[in-house]
């Protein structure tokens, strides 16, 4: 049985995100099987990609920390990076133009998570995804 | 880790049409192969491109951006871009992001 709390520090690379997300699905299946696999991985990827691409600007010397906590009815994802953060407030209510290539990350977080909370600087985000617990 | 690769089927009439199949998830770390293939197809004069997502489990915002870029390039050239065989989860994502208003998407 895997622990219900899992912390991992990653180098700020997309390859590290890819590997972590593959491991995540195994952990999710054991700790919160009632959680939609697509939605959970999408949220995790968007949070991590945001840290790697925008927070750390792809600098592999920087680190991204991720904490996952499985509760009976929710998953809590916390991601923090060593970047300077960004002005998430200016993007919070943005509805991306369908013709735009970029700018969908925060909208995806808002649509798929039940709660999204950035810190003041914008280099840390906490997501809560609720789900119906599966009875044994 | 392999980049997402694309298998291009034989072009179907008219000659400027093609169907491609994505092999694997369309996520930030795995897009370089698909990006290169789509770029090459547009440069080669393909105007009507269909992308088959039957083997795609997940697509993230960067992957959506790549599909929109392909659509934009084809549209500017007078062509169109279509996605077929998207899973229920991916269709819901496209709808929530209003992608279906931009190019044609269909499910399994």
| pLDDT for res A19 | 96
Instruction: For A55-92, write each residue's pLDDT tens digit.
Output: 999 899 999 999 999 999 999 999 999 999 988 888 88
Chain A residues close to B29, C-beta within 8 Å = 14-15, 17-18
User: Mind giving me the DSSP string for A44-107?
Assistant: HHHHHHIIIIIISTT-TTSEEEEEEEEETTEEEEEEEESS----GGGGTT----TT-SS--HHH
| pLDDT for res B108 | 79
Q: Is the per-residue pLDDT at B9 higher than 90? A: no
Q: Using CA atoms, how far apart are residues A37 and A25, in angstroms rounded to an integer?
A: 7
Q: Is the per-residue pLDDT at B72 higher than 60? A: yes
Residues 6+ apart with CB under 8 A from B31: B3, B4, B62, B63, B66
Residue contact B68–A96, C-beta within 8 A? no
Where residue B75 falls among pLDDT bands split at 50, 70, 90?
very high
Q: What percent of chain B has pLDDT over 70?
A: 86
Provide the residue-wise pLDDT of chain A in tens; the chain has 136 residues: 567 999 999 999 999 999 999 999 999 999 998 999 999 999 999 999 999 999 999 899 999 999 999 999 999 999 999 999 988 888 888 877 788 889 899 999 999 999 999 999 999 999 999 998 765 4
Q: Among A14, A42, A105, select the one facing B58 at the smallest CB separation.
A: A42
pTM of this prediction? Answer: 0.91
Instruction: Establish, for the pair of chains A and B, how many residue pairs have beta carbons separated by less than 8 Å.
Output: 64
Helix, strand, coil percentages in chain B from 3-state DSSP, rounded to 5: 40, 25, 35
Report the candidate in B83, B87, B81, B89 with the shortest Cα–Cα distance to residue B105. Answer: B83
Residue contact A96–B27, C-beta within 8 A? no
Instruction: For B82-101, write each residue's pLDDT tens digit.
Output: 999 999 999 999 999 999 88
| pLDDT for res B88 | 96
Min Cα distance A2 → chain B (Å) is 24
What does the block give as tokens for A3?
A: 């622990």
Residue contact B89–A36, C-beta within 8 A? yes
| pLDDT for res A135 | 52
| pLDDT for res A92 | 87
Q: Using CA atoms, how far apart are residues A105 and B41, in angstroms rounded to an integer?
A: 28
């Amino acid at each position: 049985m895997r622990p219900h709390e899992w912390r991992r520090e990653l180098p700020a690379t997309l390859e590290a995100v890819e590997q972590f997300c593959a491991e995540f699905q195994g952990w999710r299946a054991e700790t919160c099987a009632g959680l939609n696999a697509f939605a959970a991985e999408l949220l995790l990827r968007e949070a991590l990609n945001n840290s790697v691409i925008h927070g750390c600007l792809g600098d592999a010397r920087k680190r991204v920390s991720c904490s996952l906590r499985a509760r009976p009815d929710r998953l809590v994802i916390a991601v923090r990076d060593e970047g300077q953060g960004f002005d998430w407030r200016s993007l919070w209510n943005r509805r991306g133009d369908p013709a735009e290539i970029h700018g969908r990350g925060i909208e995806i977080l808002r649509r798929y998570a039940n709660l999204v909370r950035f810190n003041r600087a914008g280099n840390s985000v906490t997501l809560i995804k609720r789900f119906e617990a599966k009875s044994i | 880790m392999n980049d997402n690769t694309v298998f291009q089927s034989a072009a179907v009439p008219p000659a400027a049409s093609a169907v491609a199949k994505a092999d694997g998830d369309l996520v930030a770390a795995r897009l370089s192969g698909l990006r290169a293939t789509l770029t090459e197809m547009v440069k080669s004069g393909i105007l009507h491109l269909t992308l088959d997502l039957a083997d795609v489990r997940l697509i993230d915002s960067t992957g959506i951006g790549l599909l929109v870029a392909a659509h934009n390039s084809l549209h500017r050239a007078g062509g169109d871009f279509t996605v077929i065989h998207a899973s229920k989860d991916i269709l819901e994502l496209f709808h929530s992001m209003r992608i279906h208003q931009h190019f044609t998407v269909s499910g399994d």
